[in-house]
Amino acid sequence: MAEKRYRVLPGFGLTMGFTLFYLSVLVLVPIGGLFLRTFSLSWADFWRLATTDRALAAYQLTFGASLAAAVINAVFGTLLAWVLVRYDFPGRRFIDALVDFPFALPTAVAGLTLANLFSANGWLGQFLVPLGIKGAFTPLGVVIALTFVGMPFVVRTLQPVLEHLDRDVEEAAATLGAGRLRTFVSVIAPTLLPPVMTGFALAFARAIGEYGSVVFISGNLPMKTEIAPYLIVIRLEEYDYTGAMALAVVLLVISFALLGVINVLEQWANRFSR
């Protein structure tokens, strides 16, 4: 007779029911309500509201800047996680604590701080603007803000993997004559690829929905530095609820599609690393 396995939580039915209820209340019901409200529009009206010149410019900036910020975080976040895990130096714990600073800092405060830093008379802007690098009230400012808020997702995703990475394998590769580059490409990179993809996806998703830190540093110039979430707020302030919902649905569908593609890439990375 098989031994009955002891489980701390109640049975599958109860826990699964609570999980579905929790997800429905927080995720499925609001999303379903948004789509139902949008379905009241005809296709022609929906297309007209969702594809205005101003909306298309906002989509382009939102997804382009989010992608750029996620790529930057994937590269430099990986380097930062590597340094924090593999090297011991004075101030390491302080720098490690700073990684979580974007989590604790209100996004509006982050936006104001970045705008002051990169404005023409700011601490950094007074040196960068004469060189032609304008970090405030430009698309570059949007990328800076999105990189700031997304950086912890990559670092915190990679750190546990790096901490548990078996260094004996690296030493064995070196013993067999592999150089540093060959060891990194053949031993380390396949292991790091899945968490890097996960961190990239998290940073990308966070950047798409970011609002508070962007509105202050971007300047919110229509057709130039206006992001899609801010345009949705503008529509709501104008009491154009159908227009706001049309924009929200487009943003939601494109986000789900992109995250689906990233999940497929993550699964491929997991198979590649085995």
What does the mean pLDDT of the chain come to? 86
Architecture of domain 36-273: Orthogonal Bundle (1.10)
Helices and strands (H and E) in the chain: how many: 15, 0
Amino acid at 264: V
| Main-chain dihedrals φ then ψ at residue 128, nearest 5 degrees | -85, -40
3 state SS of 121: coil
Q: Which residue's structure tokens are 């790091």? A: 192
Domain ranges (residues) in the chain: 36-273
The pLDDT score that the predictor gives to residue 14 is 78
The pLDDT score that the predictor gives to residue 166 is 73
Closest listed residue to residue 123, CA positions, set 141, 215, 110, 115: 115
d(CA 16, CA 157): 27
d(CA 269, CA 188): 13
pLDDT block averages, 10 residues each, the chain of length 274: 58 79 84 83 90 94 95 94 90 91 88 90 90 91 94 92 77 69 74 88 90 90 92 92 91 86 76 63
The pLDDT score that the predictor gives to residue 269 is 67
Amino acid at 209: G
d(CA 170, CA 161): 15
Please say whether the beta carbons of 187 and 82 come within 8 A.
Answer: no
The pLDDT score that the predictor gives to residue 1 is 45
Give the pLDDT confidence of 70-118 residue by residue, as tens digits: 999 999 999 999 999 988 889 899 999 999 989 888 888 989 999 999 9
